[in-house]
Amino acid sequence: MLLIPAIDLKEGQCVRLKQGLMEQATVFSDRPADMGLHWLKQGARRLHLVDLDGAFAGKPKNLEAISGILAAVAKEIPVQLGGGIRDLATIEKYLELGLSDVIIGTAAVKNPAFVREACKQFPGHIIVGLDAKEGMVAIDGWATVTEHHVIDLSKRFEDDGVNSIIYTDIGRDGMMSGVNIEATVKLAEAVNIPIIASGGLTDLDDIRALCAVEDSGVAGAITGRAIYEGSIDFAQAQQLADSLSAR
């Protein structure tokens, strides 16, 4: 069970949102590269970046901060990023900068053929991010809830060659209310791609609960507010996950 620290970027700063609301942003650092190094030193084996401004604008908006993080850590650990990735040229640019994987979210829902083409051109580097509220997928920085069910869409991407699917429960994200284990397991059991849980990770009990369902296909979890506010010690949590996964 891999725990992945999240660095959400807004106007060049590291922030966390509550339920995806830009006006509910809490700034944790104005030095993104240092934050990347911090999690590397804490034992992170992968980083998760989100260009929040890019998610709303539909194009990259935090390139300076992203480049700084990559320069600091990309030679040591893989880095994945989502937010504003709508075309193949953007994917190519990010991979050239040193990103390991790009996350296609809104564009995957609006144009599934784009995911298929991206997987063909950049095999092994594409992740799909599906954000859902009560099982229904949301797009455009969570501003719009669609009529697509997350399981139906996930099945569509199975054969395209995506590395994994990041499943975010919008209702839990940034709320410190616990991971939606039931919905995450239901999705993991419905598809044959690894699922990365996101949203609501609060304490070590969530780590234990996730490790207990690892066999269902839940391969990792992204953590944000909990590690910034201190309800989870990242190094301790990853050590716990490693010990439980080894059993």
pLDDT tens digits, 116-169: 999 999 999 999 999 898 889 988 767 788 899 999 999 999 889 999 999 988
CATH number at residue 91: 3.20.20.70
d(CA 65, CA 6): 14
Q: Is residue 93 scored above 90 in pLDDT?
A: yes
Q: Is residue 239 scored above 70 in pLDDT?
A: yes
Instruction: Report pLDDT for 154.
Output: 94
Domain count, the chain: 1
Q: Is 151 helix (H, G, I), strand (E, B) or coil?
A: helix
Catalytic residues: 8, 131
Instruction: Report pLDDT for 139.
Output: 83
Q: Is 228 helix (H, G, I), strand (E, B) or coil?
A: helix
Q: Cβ neighbours of residue 112 under 8 Å, at least 6 residues apart?
A: 153, 156, 157
Asked whether 64 and 54 are in contact (CB, 8 A), the reply is no
The arithmetic mean of pLDDT across residues 74-89, rounded, is: 96
| CB atoms near residue 136 (< 10 Å) | 14
d(CA 210, CA 194): 13
Please spell the DSSP secondary structure of 95-126, one letter per residue: HHHT-SEEEE-HHHHH-HHHHHHHHHHSTT-E
Residues facing 86 on adjacent strands: none
Instruction: Report pLDDT for 16.
Output: 82
pTM: 0.93
d(CA 218, CA 197): 7
Per the structure, the complete domain to which residue 121 belongs is given by 2-246
What letter would DSSP give residue 14? E
Q: Is residue 20 scored above 70 in pLDDT?
A: no
| Phi, psi (rounded to 5 degrees) for 62 | -130, 40
Buried b (16+ CB within 10 A) or exposed e, 175-208: ebebbbbebbbbbbebbebbbbbbbbbbeeebbe
Instruction: Report pLDDT for 158.
Output: 87
| Phi, psi (rounded to 5 degrees) for 42 | -80, 0
Q: Is 175 helix (H, G, I), strand (E, B) or coil?
A: coil
**Largest separation between any pair of C-alpha atoms in the chain:** 45
